[in-house]
């Protein structure tokens, strides 16, 4: 049997066309599958509101009254209060052996009483011109000398009892019972933590914005749920040449005793309040070499799809940033799920919130876990 290649040619061409059509169909099917992929995301709806711009600082707490109490005289410690004792101003911290000082005090007191009595008697005689002015002046000088000696010994006698100069708690005992001490030797460390002073350094670029009276919020790293609100009580005028910062101090009450000396305090100092601002999380920003953009949810028929919109950012504060242009009130911005997102992807919006409420919640959460 003979075959004609001319008769087979139409069948070959038809087969080739069918194969190309199948390949095109496969490619179109894959493209359609990419176009309709659904990405789960979270969004915020832009609601303009006031925006508080903060700077973050790190400070250290100090007791407002913190002193090492030293002895003003020499002697042997006979009694000292236990560690942790709460003392009121004027109460006894320690007592020294005062037997020799007491004896000197009694002798000086007797000498003064005698000199004072003599002076009084001679004063009457001098008034009647019975004794000379010289005798009267000598009696007065003897009385004054005895008084000075008594005052000196009285001070030494009083110094044998070391008292608290302010209300506080004994945090350190620096001597032991029976130890012999000299004037100027530290005895205890007394601290009053009813009021705490927080010190921090502010970068010089904020010198025109941060001053005495600036509102601040403070948290500790050990108790992040408690937020202390206060104001800067002191702002220095000197710039440290090494750190390029100026010092600030913040005083606040410490009724619950949570704040302790040397504790690290996270500070958020208010720079300004911006009205009618559109605020979104920093994590929503998509950057490339030339632009700053965000993904916005747009309606496409019955579905919502992602659109990459170029924006202009303004002030940033911690986890949030202000959007100056590119977004309108009511726009729905993707804030989570952008890593797998491309323009045109269909969106499965799991959760949405208003941008102002989310920004406040985010700032509060970060404020409680501050690392400023």
* Best CA proximity match to 326, nearest among 274, 361, 280: 280
* Residue 21 pLDDT class (50, 70, 90 cuts): very low
Model pLDDT for residues 165-224, shown as the tens digit of each residue = 999 999 999 999 999 999 999 999 999 999 999 999 999 999 888 999 999 999 888 877
Q: Distance between CA 120 and CA 141 in Å, rounded? A: 13
- pLDDT attached to residue 14: 37
3-state helix, strand, coil in the chain (%, to 5): 30, 40, 30
Q: Distance between CA 19 and CA 15 in Å, rounded? A: 6
- pLDDT attached to residue 221: 82
* Residue 240 pLDDT class (50, 70, 90 cuts): very high
- pLDDT attached to residue 174: 95
Model pLDDT for residues 74-108, shown as the tens digit of each residue = 889 999 999 999 999 999 999 999 888 888 889 99
Q: Distance between CA 355 and CA 331 in Å, rounded? A: 10
- pLDDT attached to residue 19: 37
- pLDDT attached to residue 33: 47
- pLDDT attached to residue 2: 40
Question: Average per-residue pLDDT in the chain?
Answer: 84
According to DSSP, the β-strands at 161-163 and 86-87 are unpaired
Q: Distance between CA 291 and CA 293 in Å, rounded? A: 6
Between 25-29, 142-146, 273-277, 290-294, the lowest mean confidence (pLDDT) is in: 25-29
Which domains are assigned to the chain?
Answer: 38-52+274-368 (2.40.420.20), 55-64+191-272 (2.40.30.170), 98-159 (1.10.287.470)
Q: What predicted TM-score, i.e. pTM, was given to this entire model?
A: 0.62
User: For residue 56, what are the contacts with CB-CB under 8 A and spacing of at least 6?
Assistant: 266, 267, 268, 318, 370, 372
Q: Distance between CA 116 and CA 340 in Å, rounded? A: 100
Q: Distance between CA 352 and CA 42 in Å, rounded? A: 6
């Amino acid at each position: 049997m003979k075959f004609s290649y001319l008769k087979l040619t139409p069948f070959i061409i038809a087969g080739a066309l069918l194969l190309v059509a199948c390949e095109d169909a496969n490619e179109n099917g894959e493209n359609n599958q990419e176009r309709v992929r659904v990405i789960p995301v979270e969004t915020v709806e832009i609601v303009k509101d006031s925006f508080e711009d903060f700077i973050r600082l790190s400070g250290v707490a100090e007791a407002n009254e913190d002193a090492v109490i030293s002895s003003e005289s020499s002697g042997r410690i006979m009694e000292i209060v236990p560690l942790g004792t709460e003392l009121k101003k004027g109460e006894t911290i320690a007592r020294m052996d005062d037997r020799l000082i007491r004896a000197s005090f009694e002798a000086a007191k007797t000498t003064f009483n005698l000199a004072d009595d003599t002076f009084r008697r001679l004063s009457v005689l001098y008034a009647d011109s019975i004794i000379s002015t010289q005798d009267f002046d000598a009696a007065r000088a003897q009385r004054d000398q005895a008084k000075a000696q008594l005052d000196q010994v009285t001070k030494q006698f009083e110094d044998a009892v070391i008292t608290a100069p302010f209300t506080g708690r004994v945090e350190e005992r620096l001597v032991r019972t029976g130890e012999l001490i000299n004037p100027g030797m530290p005895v205890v460390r007394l601290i009053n933590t009813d009021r705490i002073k927080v010190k921090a350094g502010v970068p010089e670029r904020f010198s025109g914005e941060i001053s005495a009276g600036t509102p601040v919020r403070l948290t500790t790293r050990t108790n992040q749920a408690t937020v202390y609100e206060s104001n800067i009580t002191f702002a220095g005028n000197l710039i440290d040449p090494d750190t390029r910062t100026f010092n600030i101090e913040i005083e606040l009450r410490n009724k619950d005793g949570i704040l302790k000396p040397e504790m690290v305090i996270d500070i958020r100092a208010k720079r300004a309040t911006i009205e009618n601002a559109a605020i979104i999380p920093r994590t929503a920003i998509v950057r490339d070499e030339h632009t700053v953009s965000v993904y916005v949810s747009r309606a496409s028929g019955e579905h919502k799809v992602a659109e990459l919109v170029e924006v202009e950012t303004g002030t940033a504060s911690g986890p949030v940033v202000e959007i100056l242009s590119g977004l309108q009130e009511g726009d729905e911005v993707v804030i989570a799920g952008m890593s797998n997102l491309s323009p045109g992807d269909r969106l499965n919006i799991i959760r949405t919130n208003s941008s102002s409420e989310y920004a406040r919640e985010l700032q509060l959460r970060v404020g409680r876990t501050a690392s400023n």
